[in-house]
Structure 1
Amino acid sequence: MRHPVHLVDMQVVADLPTPADEAVKPKRLDAFLSQKLRFWSLVAMLMLVYVHAYNLHPRYLHAASAVEEPLTIGSYLQYFLANGLFRFRIPILFAISGYLFAFHDSGTPHKVRVQRRVRTLLMPYLIWSFIGLAGTWAMEQFPATRQLVQAAALSSFGPENPFVSGYTPGQLLLRWLLVPVPFQLWFLMSLLVYNLAYPWLRTAVDRAPAVYFVVAGLLWLLGIDIQPFIGGTGLLFFALGVWLRRRDIDVLRPPRWFPVVPMAVLWLVVLLVKSYLAFHFQSPPFLPMLLLHKAAEALGIGVMWFGSDAVVRVAMSQRWFALVAGFSFMIYVLHVPLVNYATEWALRTWPGQNLLVFLLLPLLIAGLAVLLGAVMRKLVPGVYGLLTGGRGM
């Protein structure tokens, strides 16, 4: 029999309880809810790798992205997954983060919790941003890998300034602190901002939830970002997690207005239509694509959260899966820019194998991240703790 998983064992990117949190008012999550949170923390990270491994043109995905490649089963499947089925990954991570942060709102002074976030969020952000810069600079020193860096086109300063080795000191500082080469790190800084603002968010969702969620919902629906680390998605879904916990709502049982099977059918229809439009139009209509994109995000969270119980039970009963789930943060921090450079190399080595590269490369990189994390945790636990903000120790 599996022992119930205490929240202290959670490896969620967003939160990591400490003895200080537990000392004020000991808490335990429902055992299955704890397992479900671990499951989705890992699966959402894998989805993140797949979205960033998308290798059709244009590479950058947004709500109304078109596809310049010919329509084939492979190209359609890539778009359907990367810009459709997997797009709920960030909203569900924000919701999990908000729920867990509110779960530990048990009397510990907010200042103490914020100080801990410097270690668990800010320090990994700065370290991995530096690693991304240094690793890219090192690749630029060799002609073959320099071409991969240029082809990946991750520079924030456009094609006229594609190399880290060509940055000015000011540009290096900007990329280290605000626009990392591992661009997925924005999520850590965004969480830090919402953690800092938690007392105000808590007050808003406690006293005026209707007003707050209407405003945040409109920002999310319209894709409006107030600044690089504050956007509608985080404001809506982090606060939703807080609200669910504050109201003590049963998050394991779907509400009556959300029948899972009909909603799953609707979700798939939305995804199929959106993917079709991306190939059918050279410039897909922005507003319909945006609405379909947001509908897919919202439906995806509900369908996959409430409809995955059987899968969660089977997966979390497997020792290997539970072990891998402990390294979800390593998958998160390590995969970019590695997946971008590896994609360019793989497509040059095996031209025309876009779908195969898309399907296999993320699994290879996730496996590498887990292996590296396991070795470091065993051999240099201090370094591993620093790189992960203490997660998994």
Structure 2
Amino acid sequence: MTRSLSQKFRFFTFVCIALLAYVHGYNLNNTYLAPFSTVNEPLTFTTFFEYFIANGLLRFRIPLLFMISGYLYASYDHRPYSQQVKNRFRTLIIPYFIWSSFGLLLTFLLQQFPYTANVVAAAGIDQMGDNRPYTEIGWAGMFQRLTLAPISYQLWFIMSLFVFNICYPVLRWLVVKVPYIWLPFTFLLFFVTLINVPLLDFRGLFFFSLGVWIQKRNFSIETEPKWFSLGLALIFFIGLSVIKTFLAFELEYDVWPSIITLIIIHQTAVLSGIIAIWFGADKVIHWFNKKEWFHYASGFSFFIFGMHVPLLPYVMKWALMNSSMIPYYRLLCYLVIPFITLCFCIWTGSLLRRFLPRVYAVLTGGRGF
């Protein structure tokens, strides 16, 4: 791997994770936005802007992270399989359970005081749809939330990634031996899958496989293709995101024509966004890579990923409950609270890395040193 490609991977890994704060920090009435979600509230500048950013413009991030992960894993597949699995257990599964426990503990502590308990209940982020206090849910319910449905809902990504890593020998054989069958098949899954089964993300399977294929074929992803036009790519990408956002306010809720229309536009926008951002951001990457603060902040990517939820939704709900007298308070909170959360995560991570480096290493799977 060349130095420029390594820098590009580092840049996009940090940016994609940092932007999660604005994907998870929206304050629309719908607390869970799927690719095909409609909006059941009036169209205003605030609601349009939040949906456009959170469920449109920034949705390229996770597929791009899957593709980078597939490429990097394939780059080191000369190592013994057992060694790879052991290493990924240390760097993915142990942090998964630690951060899941952190989310449970934070939520439980907040539920012990009436004021903060109201904030937790109002945030309504429980994946199982049961926002009762954990003392009422019981140990069995908490175990489910520790393992398969963490309150730190972003953790699904690293669990799916671990499953792909476990299945890598099979995935590699399919990618290398029958790529023109496997890649179209997974691409179709990406386009049509609405709900994933536990532990397996069908939408990420295509991009992880694509990353493996690119690495095994030595396909150049550093050089801008001759056919690429940044202007046209951005117009197409942003235009699709704008169209999808308008349709989300106009289409009928939870009917198949609406779902199919939105998901086709959404997935097409994701693909065009990855192409536009990957090949069109070289000058931006070059500028950021010359900044010391960026190198420092990007070292905390995984810590930000693990910590920002459920902290962000709780702080966002608290801010909304206490700022309703301010004009455009929802938009203001959406712009400010995710940024403050990012800064707090980096600050906390820096303290841990400095004073408790072994703890920080366990929390991040050894990343960020």
TM range (shorter): over 0.9
Of all paired residues, the percent bearing the same amino acid is: 39
Is the 8 Å Cα contact of residues 31 and 125 (structure 2) preserved in structure 1? no
Is the 8 Å Cα contact of residues 153 and 162 (structure 1) preserved in structure 2? no
Q: What is the aligned counterpart of 2:190 among 208, 212, 220?
A: 220
Aligned-partner SS, 1:180: coil
Distance 1:247 1:226 in 2: 29
Is the 8 Å Cα contact of residues 224 and 231 (structure 1) preserved in structure 2? no
Bigger mean CA offset, 372-381 vs 251-260: 251-260
- CA deviation string 1:120-151 (max 9, x = no partner): 00000011101111110000000010001101
Aligned-partner SS, 1:375: helix
Which residue number corresponds to residue 360 of structure 2?
A: 384
- CA deviation string 1:164-190 (max 9, x = no partner): 222222111111111111010011111
Which residue number corresponds to residue 288 of structure 1?
A: 261
Aligned-partner SS, 2:154: helix
Give aligned pairs, total.
Answer: 363
Bigger mean CA offset, 171-180 vs 223-232: 223-232
**1:54 maps onto 2:26 in alignment:** yes
Which residue number corresponds to residue 304 of structure 1?
A: 277
**1:127 maps onto 2:103 in alignment:** no
Is the 8 Å Cα contact of residues 31 and 124 (structure 2) preserved in structure 1? no
What is the deviation of 1:225?
4.7
What is the deviation of 1:263?
2.1
Within-5 A mapping of 1:102-251: 102-105=74-77, 107-159=78-130, 161-251=131-221
What is the deviation of 1:77?
1.2
Distance 1:386 1:188 in 2: 15
Distance 1:180 1:55 in 2: 20
Distance 2:97 2:57 in 1: 31
What is the deviation of 1:258?
4.1
**1:39 maps onto 2:11 in alignment:** yes
Distance 2:74 2:273 in 1: 23
Is the 8 Å Cα contact of residues 128 and 182 (structure 1) preserved in structure 2? yes
- CA deviation string 1:236-284 (max 9, x = no partner): 0011111100101111123345433222211121111101111223427
Using a 3 Å threshold, how does the CA distance of structure 1 residues 215 and 282 change in structure 2: closer, same or farther? Answer: same
Bigger mean CA offset, 272-281 vs 297-306: 272-281
Which segments of 5 or more consecutive residues in structure 1 lack a partner in the other structure? 1-28
Distance 2:127 2:231 in 1: 43
Cα RMSD (Å):
1.4
TM-score normalised by length of structure 1 = 0.89
Which residue number corresponds to residue 252 of structure 1?
A: 222
Aligned-partner SS, 1:227: coil
Match of 2:63, as an amino acid?
P
Q: What is the aligned counterpart of 2:314 among 295, 316, 341?
A: 341
What is the deviation of 1:47?
1.6
Aligned-partner SS, 1:369: helix
Which residue number corresponds to residue 347 of structure 2?
A: 371
Distance 1:37 1:48 in 2: 17
Is the 8 Å Cα contact of residues 67 and 279 (structure 1) preserved in structure 2? yes
Distance 2:216 2:245 in 1: 37
Distance 1:226 1:363 in 2: 30
Is the 8 Å Cα contact of residues 37 and 248 (structure 2) preserved in structure 1? yes
Match of 2:271, as an amino acid?
A
Which residue number corresponds to residue 331 of structure 1?
A: 304
Bigger mean CA offset, 383-392 vs 252-261: 252-261
Using a 3 Å threshold, how does the CA distance of structure 1 residues 203 and 157 change in structure 2: closer, same or farther? Answer: closer
Using a 3 Å threshold, how does the CA distance of structure 1 residues 226 and 82 change in structure 2: closer, same or farther? Answer: closer
**1:63 maps onto 2:35 in alignment:** yes
Which residue number corresponds to residue 246 of structure 2?
A: 276
Match of 1:197, as an amino acid?
C
Match of 1:211, as an amino acid?
I
Bigger mean CA offset, 64-73 vs 339-348: 64-73
Which segments of 5 or more consecutive residues in structure 2 lack a partner in the other structure? none
